[in-house]
């Protein structure tokens, strides 16, 4: 069985006793850029550089699946009108303007969405990755989720207040971003993605209440999952304890959570609903700032808690030491019986 077959069997098939190791969020690490010879901003915009950095995750960090579609979560918002701040080698693109701040009613899903922004470069990136990995490795696409995208377009503070006072307007804006999301997701599947990760940090409970999540995010996610031509993984930052069940109810194949979420409880809930769990080695505390020993120990803890895919809890910080990231694979190999290792 190839790594891709094993990965997909674990995500949507009958399951295996093999725990793949990798990242379902961004891994735009400076050390990987230096190893593959392509640094930002080229690694954010040029398909050859983007594909090389995607593959560097497998070649140098030991990841058993690879990512397409950039190293930040701005691409959908950018294609819909947000302008971006200039990246540096250790700073990804970030949202600079909220073009619909005073005209939420004008929000619209462009017919040519996947011809805008970096989408044409993503198309070529998928092509290059597929040429290199064939059917050996699973490839995923990723972007910001529908609420985060709406918050980028309208302004987070403004949209947050509107969730209470002007719910109908928020729903209307979400209808637009959900439509855009479906286009982006299916763009990825048409171009060879095996699954798609939706990252929606702005809908995490650090900002949004579980009741609002139920009212606004849950129906949005259900619609996206229903229209997607492949499996979806939902990533939420921070402590997701109060929404794990709803995340699973949305119909996704997997959820991705941070170390602030109770992993044992999340695994129990997710597994009872047939959903897989990615995570949850701390991106900041452990991988970025910790020692290799701490990275290894936290990886083992996640494996013992029953994680299905061993991965960082969130995007890997650019200046994270590669040695730390490699400990995830070391720990996985130590944890699994030799016969099940790739």
Residues that bind another protein in the complex, under the rule CB under 8 A: 85, 88, 90-92, 94-96, 156-157, 160-161, 163-165, 205-209, 212, 237-238, 242, 282-285, 288-289, 314-315, 317-319
Cβ neighbour number for residue 295 with a 10 Å cutoff: 26
Report in angstroms how near the CB of residue 211 gets to another protein at its nearest. 9
Report in angstroms how near the CB of residue 163 gets to another protein at its nearest. 5
Nearer to another protein, 76 or 237 (CB): 237
Report in angstroms how near the CB of residue 160 gets to another protein at its nearest. 4
Report in angstroms how near the CB of residue 158 gets to another protein at its nearest. 9
The residue to which tokens 């701490």 are assigned: 294
254 Cα distance to chain centroid: 11
Nearer to another protein, 117 or 315 (CB): 315
Output the six-digit token pair for 289.
């700032």
Nearer to another protein, 64 or 200 (CB): 200
Nearer to another protein, 24 or 163 (CB): 163
Nearer to another protein, 248 or 316 (CB): 316
Report in angstroms how near the CB of residue 339 gets to another protein at its nearest. 37
Report in angstroms how near the CB of residue 238 gets to another protein at its nearest. 6
Nearer to another protein, 122 or 213 (CB): 213
Report in angstroms how near the CB of residue 33 gets to another protein at its nearest. 14
Task: Give per-residue burial for 86-123: e unless 16+ CB within 10 Å, then b.
Answer: ebeeeebbebeebbbeeebeebebeeebbeebbbebbb
Q: Are 78 and 118 in contact (CB under 8 A)?
A: yes
CA angle centred on 313, ends 29 and 30, rounded to 5° = 5
* Separation of alpha carbons 68 and 144, rounded Å: 13
Nearer to another protein, 64 or 72 (CB): 72
């Amino acid at each position: 069985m190839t790594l891709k077959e094993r990965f997909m069997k674990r995500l949507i098939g009958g399951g295996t006793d093999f725990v793949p190791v990798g990242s379902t969020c961004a891994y735009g690490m400076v050390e990987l850029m230096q190893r593959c010879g392509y640094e930002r901003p080229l690694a954010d915009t040029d398909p050859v550089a983007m594909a090389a950095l995607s593959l560097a995750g497998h070649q140098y960090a030991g990841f058993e699946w690879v990512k397409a579609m950039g190293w930040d979560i701005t691409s959908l918002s950018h294609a819909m009108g947000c302008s971006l701040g200039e990246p540096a080698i250790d700073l990804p693109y970030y949202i600079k303007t909220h073009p619909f701040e005073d005209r939420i009613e004008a929000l619209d899903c462009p017919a040519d969405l996947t011809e805008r922004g970096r989408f044409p470069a993503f198309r070529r990136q998928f092509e290059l990755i597929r040429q290199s990995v064939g059917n050996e490795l699973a490839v995923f696409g990723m972007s910001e989720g529908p609420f985060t995208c709406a918050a980028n377009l309208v302004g987070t503070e403004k949209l947050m207040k509107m969730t209470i006072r002007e719910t109908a307007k928020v729903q209307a804006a979400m209808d637009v971003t959900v439509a855009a999301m479906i286009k982006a997701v299916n763009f990825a599947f048409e171009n060879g993605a095996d699954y798609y990760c939706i990252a929606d940090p702005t809908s995490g409970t650090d900002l949004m209440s579980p009741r609002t999540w139920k009212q606004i995010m849950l129906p949005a996610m259900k619609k996206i999952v229903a229209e997607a031509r492949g499996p979806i993984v939902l990533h939420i930052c921070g402590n997701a304890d109060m929404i794990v069940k709803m995340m699973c109810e949305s119909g996704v194949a997997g959820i991705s959570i941070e170390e602030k979420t109770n992993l044992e409880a999340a695994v129990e809930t997710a597994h009872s609903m047939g959903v897989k769990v990615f995570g949850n080695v701390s991106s900041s505390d452990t991988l970025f700032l910790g020692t290799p020993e701490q990275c290894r120990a936290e990886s083992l803890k996640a494996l013992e808690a029953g994680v299905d895919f061993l991965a960082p809890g969130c995007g890997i910080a650019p200046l994270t030491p590669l040695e730390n990231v490699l400990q995830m694979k070391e720990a996985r190999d130590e944890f699994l019986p030799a016969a099940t290792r790739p």
